[in-house]
Amino acid sequence: MLSVALRRWSAWAPGIEGAEAWRAWSAAPAPIAAEGTPDARFLPAMLRRRCSPLSRAMLHVAFDACPEAERAAVRTVFASRHGENKESFPLFAGIAAREPLSPTRFTMTVHNVQAGLFSIAAGNRQASSSLAGEEDTFPTAFLEALAHLEREPGRSVLLVVGDVPIAPLFQPLIPEPASSYALALLLARDGEGTKLGFEPTGERRRPGPEPRLAWPQGLELVRWLHDGEPSLLLGERRGWRFRRL
Amino acid sequence: MPDPRPCRLAALGMRNALGRDRHEIWPRLLAGDQSRFTLDRERVPGRALWFGAVQGPLPAVPRSLVAYDCRNNAMTLAALEPIEDALRDAVRAVGAARVGVVMGTSTSGVADAEEALAHERLHGRLDPRFAYTQLEFGGVAGFVAELLQLGGPAYTLSTACSSGARALASARSLLALGVCDAVIAGATDTLCGLTTNGFSSLQAVSEELVNPMSVNRKGLTLGEGSAVFLVLREPGGIQLLGVGESSEAHHMSAPDPEGLGAETAMREALADAGVTPEEVAYLNLHGTGTPLNDSMESAAVARVLGTALPCSSTKSLVGHTLGAAGAIEAGFCWMMLAEAEAGEIALPPHVWDGQRDPALPPIRLAEKGERARAGRRALLLTNSFGFGGNNCTLLLGRELDSGGGAC
C-alpha cells in the first residue's frame, strides 16, 4: 500500500463551505446541488472574471488549500471527469452550424485550462498534469498525484478535482446526478499531516444504472476523513482503497 | 549500478499519415515523404488547408464496446492492433489486475460529438449511435482497458500538446510505485472541427505546408494519429531514461518568448537520466512551425544543447498531431533506436524550404540520409510543449553493445 501525508484540504459545493459546514455535511451527507459558484475571494479580480464556473470552483479550493508561500513551489494535478463540457457545447454546436469559432473561447475550454490559469495566477513553473478517468476520475487523479511524488519526493503536490453539470442535451446520456463541487488536497510524501494509505485493488467493477454513491467520490473522502472508519473503498469501474495509517 | 527505475518501452504500435505500422512508417520517415498530406476546403470554412489526415478505413471497434465506438478510439485500435499479441501476452504474464493504462488526448471523440449535434440540428435529436463515453477524455484510456479487460488503473492525461509525452512519464512512475507491472501508454488525437477551427482562429495554421525553423514559416499543419507503447519494469532494450517537466506561468495560448519553460524541461530530462548534453545524439523538436514556437525553442535548444546536435521536426511529415504528438514523436525516437546498428543511428530529416531565419540561433537541422554516431549508449531527446504552458521533454536510450534484439 502506498502512503502519503494529507497536509491540508479544502472543499466547496453550493451552500457548503468551510470546515464547520463540511463537518455538518459529513455527519448527514446528502446529494450535492447542481447550481452555484464560489465567491473565489482568494483570486485576483482579473483572473476571476476570466474563469468559467468550473475554473472558479477549482481555483477557489486550490488557493484555499495551498498557502500563498507555497503556491509557486508545488507540483499540481487538475482532474475533472467532464472538464469544460458545458462551455464547449456551444462551440461543438457552432461547428455543426459552420459558424466562426472564437479563439478565446477555444483557448478557455481546453482540459488543462485550470492548470494554465493556476500557473499564471500563482507564478507556478512546476510540473502539472490535467486528467480525466471516467467515473473514477478522483481516485485516478489521487494516483497521478502519487506519481508526481514518486518523481520528486521532496516537493508537495496540490491535487485539485472538480466538476459542474454537463450540457443539458448530454445529461440524459449518463446516470450521474448533476452536481457542482471542487476539492483540493495538499499532499506530501511524508511529514506533518494525516497519514493515508492508498491502493488500487485491481478489482474490475461495472458501473450500474445508478452510481454507488449519491455524491462525488472526492466528497466521500471528505466524509470519511470526518468519521472513524479505518478504511474507505471507492470506485465505479475499479476498486480503490484508502486507509488511515 | 542497476537503474532503480527501469522502464522498458517493449513494443510500439503506431498509426498516422505516414502509414499503418512502424515497418511502413520507418522508411517514409527517413525519406522525408510529404506525399500523404491532403488539401482540404471543408474543415475550416473559407480556408484551403493541408492536413496530415489518416486515409482509408480504420478497424472496427468491437460491437460489445459500442459505447466507445468513435473515430478517436478506432484510431487507437489501429495503432494497437499490430502489437495486440504482445499486449495480450503481457496481460497473461502479469495478470489483468496489474496492467494499467495511461493515454493522452486533446480531442477524444469530439469529431463524433460534432456529427451527433449536426444530426440533432436536422432531426431534433442526437444521433442514437452517440454515447457520452465517446466524448469524455477518460474514455480514451477506458476503451483500451475495456478492450483488454484490464483491472489496473486507467486514466487519460490532457495537457494539450504535451499529453502524449506525459502519458509515458506517468507510466514510468506507476511502474516505479509498484502499483502496476505493465502499463499500456500512448496517445491519440483525431482531426475535428473544434481543433482545426480553433487553431485556425488563433491564426496558428499555415495555408502552406508547415515549414519549421524557416524564415518563411507561417504556422502549423494539423495531423492525426496514435502511438501506443507496452511499458515494462525491466532493464534492457529501449528505455525511458529521463523526464523533464515545467509550466510557464506565462500565457494560455502562447509560449514564453524566452523559452525558459522549454529550457527547464530539457535540462531536467538530462539531469533525471544523469546524462550530459554532449552524450545526446539527436533531438526531435517540438517544431510546430509557428513563428513563436520555433524562435523560443531554437533559443532554448542552443542554450542547453548547443548548435552542433542534429535536430529535426517530424511535424512536416505527419503534421501536428496535438495530444498524440508527444507519443508519436517518442515513437519515432523508439524506431531510430530499434533500427540503430554498428554505433550509427539513421536520422529523420528536417524537411523544410532550407531558408534559415537569421533571427534564430543556427541549430543543426538533420539532412536527408544523415546518420549520427552513437557511443556505447544511444541517447535521444524529444520535446513537447503544450498550450497553457505545459512542457515535457523525454530522454530515450538503448545500450548498443548489449547484444540481443532491442525490441
pLDDT recorded at residue B104:
98
Residues in chain B closer than 8 A to A88 (CB atoms): 194
Give dist(CA A114, CA A216) in Å, integer: 19
pLDDT recorded at residue A42:
80
Q: What is the mean pLDDT of residues A13-17?
A: 97
For the question of whether the overall pTM of this predicted structure is more than 0.90, the answer is: yes
pLDDT digits (tens, 9 = 90+) for B66-107: 999 999 999 999 999 999 999 999 999 999 999 999 999 999
Between helix B71-80 and helix B110-123 the angle, nearest 10°, is 150
Nearest CA-CA distance, residue A37 and chain B, Å: 23
Give dist(CA B73, CA B134) in Å, integer: 8
- Asked if A38 is an interface residue toward chain B (Cβ–Cβ < 8 A), one would say no
pLDDT digits (tens, 9 = 90+) for A136-168: 999 999 999 999 999 999 999 999 999 999 999
CATH T-level topology, domain B8-399:
Peroxisomal Thiolase; Chain A, domain 1 (3.40.47)
* Residue A207 binned pLDDT confidence (cut-offs 50, 70, 90): confident
Instruction: Return the number of other C-beta atoms located less than 10 Å from residue B188's C-beta.
Output: 37
Q: Is A65 helix (H, G, I), strand (E, B) or coil?
A: helix
* Residue A41 binned pLDDT confidence (cut-offs 50, 70, 90): confident
pLDDT tops 60 at residue B402: no
pLDDT digits (tens, 9 = 90+) for B352-372: 999 999 999 999 999 999 999
Residue for cell digits 487538475? A78
- Asked if A169 is an interface residue toward chain B (Cβ–Cβ < 8 A), one would say yes
Q: Is B267 helix (H, G, I), strand (E, B) or coil?
A: helix
Strands (E), chain A: 2-13, 16-17, 75-79, 128-132, 157-163, 181-188, 194-204, 231-234, 238-244
Residues in chain B closer than 8 A to A131 (CB atoms): 137-138, 155-158
- Kindly report the CATH number that applies to the domain delimited by A2-194: 3.40.47.10
Best B47, B66, B127, B137 residue to mutate vs chain A (most A CBs within 10 Å):
B137
pLDDT recorded at residue B2:
67
Q: Is B179:B153 a contact under the CB 8 Å cutoff?
A: yes
CB contact under 8 A, A96 and B139: no
N- to C-terminal Cα separation, chain B: 22
Minimal-distance CA residue of chain A relative to B150: A204
CB contact under 8 A, B45 and A120: no
pLDDT recorded at residue B1:
59
pLDDT tops 80 at residue A73: yes
Give dist(CA A164, CA A44) in Å, integer: 22
pLDDT digits (tens, 9 = 90+) for A99-113: 999 999 999 999 999
Minimal-distance CA residue of chain B relative to A98: B45
Give dist(CA B5, CA B172) in Å, integer: 8
Minimal-distance CA residue of chain A relative to B247: A125
pLDDT recorded at residue B375:
82
Lowest mean pLDDT segment, chosen from A26-30, B245-249, B327-331, B373-377: B373-377
CB under 8 Å to B209, separation ≥6 — which residues?
Answer: B34, B37, B50, B221, B316
- Asked if A171 is an interface residue toward chain B (Cβ–Cβ < 8 A), one would say no
pLDDT tops 90 at residue B319: yes
CB contact under 8 A, B245 and A116: no
Q: Is B251:B389 a contact under the CB 8 Å cutoff?
A: yes
Pick from A107, A127, A174: CB nearest B132: A174
Instruction: Return the number of other C-beta atoms located less than 10 Å from residue B278's C-beta.
Output: 10
Residues in chain A closer than 8 A to B139 (CB atoms): 134
Q: What is the mean pLDDT of residues A57-86?
A: 97
Minimal-distance CA residue of chain A relative to B272: A151
CB contact under 8 A, B201 and A100: yes
- Asked if B153 is an interface residue toward chain A (Cβ–Cβ < 8 A), one would say yes
pLDDT recorded at residue B342:
80
pLDDT recorded at residue B405:
47
Query: What DSSP character marks residue B54?
Result: P
Q: Please, what sign has the CA dihedral across residues A5, A8, A11, A16?
A: positive
Residues in chain A closer than 8 A to B117 (CB atoms): 92-93, 95-96, 169
pLDDT tops 50 at residue B166: yes
Contacts 24+ apart (CB under 8 A), B63-66: B65/B143, B65/B146, B65/B147, B66/B129, B66/B131
Instruction: Return the number of other C-beta atoms located less than 10 Å from residue B153's C-beta.
Output: 29
Nearest CA-CA distance, residue B342 and chain A, Å: 34
pLDDT tops 90 at residue B258: yes
* Residue A208 binned pLDDT confidence (cut-offs 50, 70, 90): confident
pLDDT recorded at residue A221:
98
pLDDT digits (tens, 9 = 90+) for A172-190: 999 999 999 999 999 999 9
Top-confidence range, B293-297, B339-343, B400-404: B293-297
Residue ranges covered by each domain of chain A: 2-194
pLDDT tops 90 at residue B38: yes
Percentage of residues in chain A having pLDDT higher than 90: 91
pLDDT tops 80 at residue A204: yes
